[in-house]
Amino acid sequence: MTAIVSTQAQITKELAQTIVAQRVSHSYLFVGANQIQTNELGLWFCQALFCQNSQAGYPCLQCDYCRRIAQHDFPDVVLVQSDKQSIGVDEIRSVKLEMGQTGVESAHRACVIMGAEKLTVAAENSLLKFLEEPAGAITTILLANSTNNFLPTILSRVQIIQLAAGQDEQLTQKLHSQGYSQPDIDLIHKAHLENLVAAEDAEHFTKLKTQAQSWFKLLITNPQQAFIAVAASILPVIENRIQQQIFLSLLEWYFSQYLQQQAQQPTWHQSRRLVEQFLHAQKLWQANVSFENSLEQLALIADSIIKGS
Ligand SMILES: [Zn+2]
């Protein structure tokens, strides 16, 4: 067993299951603060995709393909790795050209872009169409340390997989002693709220979470009600900018879950537009548009998306 299967047990299991179910997406974004681990997961997934002796979706790590992928010496897995400050449009063009050839050893090909947070805007734009309509059976895997530097249009076209952070035991204990429940602590880790909740009391966090959850549901089902709820239900429980940030981070987490569930649905296009608009609202808020206005605008746009206009 390779280290990544134990450190990222849940994610490797889910990826293996999508292979078995033949539900592998065109494009992924693996996000993790630990670059070594993220790169390791990227290669492991390629091994899983190509392995000749895989079991239940897990690669054998022994066969010729698995070994050559690990050594970066397998022609159907194209790796982009750059020591430079940025990955530019020329590099992406040559990858696209290379990926345009048919598979050398197999019918399927994969492209792995390491350090994808270094993609320039032009390079990201150049990737867009490729992510959307790859020429043939191609899986693209972007590996990055965060989602912050990506265009919303990229984020909405990839399946985002957030690597589990090594849970900080001390923090977990501290949260427990502050009265946080285990489900709330798990959510804090998954949504990476560790630094934000430090000053928050447990009871109030639960309130924020409940509001975020129900507002998210309203937004995707009844955006007009979501619009009204901003002033009526959300603002009364939010006292400062940190709580606004917690609320938005929770929404981001619910959106990422939602997008994964929606991947195979006929309303996928609609869901993706909603997520783009959410990311836009978050950017507005970061640019100092008021919290209230950012959410209300999002609700208005969600209404027109859902009505299909
Ligand atoms: Zn193998």
Same domain flag for 78 and 127: yes
- Residue 194 is predicted with a pLDDT of 83
Ranked by mean pLDDT, which of 27-36, 62-71, 103-112 comes out on top? 62-71
Same domain flag for 257 and 108: no
Question: Using an 8 Å Cβ cutoff, are 172 and 185 in contact?
Answer: yes
CA of 67 to the centre of ligand 1 (A): 7
Model's pTM, two decimal places? Answer: 0.57
- Residue 236 is predicted with a pLDDT of 95
Q: Average pLDDT in the 140-158 region?
A: 92
CA of 73 to the centre of ligand 1 (A): 14
pLDDT above 80 (res 210): yes
Same domain flag for 134 and 203: no
Same domain flag for 288 and 214: yes
CA of 93 to the centre of ligand 1 (A): 30
Same domain flag for 181 and 269: yes
Question: Using an 8 Å Cβ cutoff, are 141 and 45 in contact?
Answer: yes
Same domain flag for 72 and 51: yes
CA of 52 to the centre of ligand 1 (A): 5
Instruction: Give the chain's domain count.
Output: 2
Of the pLDDT bands very low, low, confident and very high (cuts 50, 70, 90), residue 172 is confident
Closest C-alpha to 26, from 143, 140, 124, 109:
140
Q: Which of 105, 128, 162 is the last residue of a domain?
A: 162
- Residue 254 is predicted with a pLDDT of 94
Query: Which residues, 6+ apart, have CB-to-CB distance to 98 below 8 Å?
Result: 78
Same domain flag for 229 and 245: yes
Query: Which residues, 6+ apart, have CB-to-CB distance to 173 below 8 Å?
Result: none
CA of 58 to the centre of ligand 1 (A): 9
Q: How far apart are CA 306 and CA 277, in angstroms?
A: 12
Same domain flag for 63 and 189: no
| Domain of residue 290, residue span | 169-306
Of the pLDDT bands very low, low, confident and very high (cuts 50, 70, 90), residue 96 is confident
pLDDT above 70 (res 17): yes
Q: Which of 162, 197, 223 is the last residue of a domain?
A: 162
Q: Which of 114, 138, 162 is the last residue of a domain?
A: 162
Q: pLDDT over 90 for what percent of the chain?
A: 64
Same domain flag for 125 and 218: no
Domain holding 125: CATH number? 3.40.50.300
Question: Using an 8 Å Cβ cutoff, are 139 and 15 in contact?
Answer: no
> For 191-204, what is each residue's pLDDT tens digit?
888 888 878 889 99
- Residue 3 is predicted with a pLDDT of 76
Same domain flag for 200 and 154: no
Of the pLDDT bands very low, low, confident and very high (cuts 50, 70, 90), residue 264 is confident
CA of 62 to the centre of ligand 1 (A): 5
Same domain flag for 184 and 156: no
Closest C-alpha to 146, from 118, 126, 110, 184:
118
Same domain flag for 10 and 106: yes
